Amino acid sequence: MAEETTIPEPAKEPVTPVVMKVAQQSDATTAVLQWLAYSFWGWTVLTIGYLVGLTASYTLGNSYSTISPVIIPSSIAAAVILLIIASVTDYFYSKREVEHKTGISMVLMVIHAVLFGLLAVGSLITIAFSLIQWTVGSSSGSIGAQVAAITAGTLFVTYVLILLRVVRPFIFSKFRLLFNIAFLLIVGLLAVLAISGPVIQTAKLKNDRAVATAVTSLETSVQRFVTAEGRLPKDLDELLTDGNVTERSDQAVPIADLVKENRVTYTPNATADETSKLSRILKTHTYKLCGVYDYPAEKSKSSYSVYTNGRMTRSTAGEHCQTLDATSYTLLNK
C-alpha cells in the first residue's frame, strides 16, 4: 500500500510590510502637498507685494509713460494664477492634514513658520522706517517712502495670515473659506486699481511714448547718416530705407507708421556751416525734428517729457520741435 504524501501549504506572506509601504507612500504624498501648499502661498504673497509696489509707485509718482505695457498685466495674471494654484493645493492637503504634526510634517511646518514670521517682522520694520522717512525725510523721497510703507503693510498682513494658516491648522479649517475670500479680495482689489490706473494710463500714452522714443532714435540715425554720406537725408523716407534707422525695443508704434501719420516730421537745412579744424573741415548740418503729442508732459513725470539733448522741455500737448545739429568731417587734402 503506497504511503500518502502530504504537500506542505505555501507559507503565507506577512501583510504588515504592504501596509507599511502604503503608509509610507501616504506620508510622502502628504509631505509633498504640504510643501507645495506652503510654498505656493508664499509665492502668492510675494507676487501680491510686487503688484502693490508697482501700482503704488506709478500711481503716486504719476509716471505712467515709463511703464512697460505688459509688466502690470503680467503681474496681475501671475497673482491670480498663483492664488488659484495655492488654494487648490491647500484644499487637497487639508484633507490629509493633522493638527499635531510629527516627523517631516513638523520639520516643514517649522521651516515655513520661521520664514513667514521673519518676513512679517521685516515688513513691520520696513513700515516703521518708511513712516519715519515719510514724516521727517526730504520731500524728494516722500513718494518712495509712501510706496514702501504701503507695500510693506500689505506684505505684513498677508504674511501674518499665512503664518496663522501654517501654525494653527485647526483654526484655519474653520475659517478656510474666509481665508480664501480675503486673498481673493486683495488680488481683485489690486487688479481693479492697477487696471483703472496705470494700465489705462499707459494705453492712453502709447502714442506719446512712441513719438518720444522715435525722436531719440531718429536723432541718432540722422547723425549716423551724415557721418556716412556727408549730407543730411532729404526726408525721413530716405532715412528709413535700407535699415538706416534702428528702432529701440520699447518702440510702441513703428517709426514708419508715425511718419505716415505725420506724428514725427523732419525739416533739413539746405546749407551747412563749415569750420576748418587742423587738417579737417568740420561741417555742421542743422535740421528740425518735430513730434506731435496727445497729452501734456505734466500727465507723465518721466524722462519722456524732456528731449534727450536737454535743449527744450515739453509742457503742453500738440507739436513740439527742436533744432538739432549733425556733424561730418572732410579731410583738407581730398
Kindly report the average pLDDT of the chain as a whole number. 80
What is the per-residue pLDDT for 65? 54
Are 127 and 232 part of one and the same domain? Answer: no
Are 28 and 56 part of one and the same domain? Answer: yes
Are 93 and 187 part of one and the same domain? Answer: yes
Higher pLDDT, 24 or 306: 24
Say yes or no to pLDDT of 69 above 80. Answer: no
Strand partners, 313: 306
Are 65 and 194 part of one and the same domain? Answer: yes
Are 59 and 76 part of one and the same domain? Answer: yes
What is the per-residue pLDDT for 300? 42
Are 141 and 194 part of one and the same domain? Answer: yes
Which of 148, 181, 204 is at the close of a domain?
204
> What share of the chain has pLDDT > 70, as a percent?
78
What is the per-residue pLDDT for 3? 52
Query: Is 6 among the domain residues?
Result: no
Are 253 and 316 part of one and the same domain? Answer: yes
What is the per-residue pLDDT for 11? 54
What is the per-residue pLDDT for 4? 54
What is the per-residue pLDDT for 156? 95
Which of 185, 204, 223 is at the close of a domain?
204
47 SS3 class: helix
Are 71 and 159 part of one and the same domain? Answer: yes
What is the per-residue pLDDT for 283? 83
> What share of the chain has pLDDT > 90, as a percent?
25
Compute the average pLDDT of residues 199-220: 84
Tell me the pLDDT tens digit for each residue of 155-178.
Answer: 999 999 999 888 887 777 778 888
252 SS3 class: coil
Compute the average pLDDT of residues 120-136: 90
Query: Is 9 among the domain residues?
Result: no
Tell me the pLDDT tens digit for each residue of 294-315.
Answer: 887 654 443 334 333 444 456 6
What is the per-residue pLDDT for 173? 75
The grid coordinates of residue 191 equal 487688479
Compute the average pLDDT of residues 251-279: 80
Query: Is 3 among the domain residues?
Result: no
Residue 238 banded pLDDT, cuts 50, 70, 90: confident
Say yes or no to pLDDT of 49 above 90. Answer: yes
Are 305 and 170 part of one and the same domain? Answer: no
Are 123 and 192 part of one and the same domain? Answer: yes
Higher pLDDT, 296 or 277: 296
Please list, in sequence order, all residues whose beta carbon lies within 8 angstroms of the beta carbon of residue 319, skipping any fewer than 6 positions away.
Answer: 290, 291, 292, 293
Answer whether 90's CB lies under 8 Å from 34's CB.
no
Alpha-carbon distance of 150 to 156, in angstroms, equals 10
Please list, in sequence order, all residues whose beta carbon lies within 8 angstroms of the beta carbon of residue 205, skipping any fewer than 6 positions away.
Answer: 64, 65, 294, 295, 299, 300
Query: Is 5 among the domain residues?
Result: no
Split into its structural domains, the chain has a count of 2
Phi and psi torsions of 286, nearest 5°: -105, 140
Residue 212 banded pLDDT, cuts 50, 70, 90: confident
Query: Is 104 among the domain residues?
Result: yes
Domain housing 74: 16-204
Alpha-carbon distance of 334 to 319, in angstroms, equals 42
Query: Is 4 among the domain residues?
Result: no
What's the CA dihedral at 171, 176, 177, 179 to 10 degrees? 90
Compute the average pLDDT of residues 325-333: 74
Compute the average pLDDT of residues 132-140: 73
Residue 264 banded pLDDT, cuts 50, 70, 90: very high
The grid coordinates of residue 194 equal 492697477
Are 165 and 31 part of one and the same domain? Answer: yes
Which of 204, 229, 254 is at the close of a domain?
204
The grid coordinates of residue 170 equal 485647526
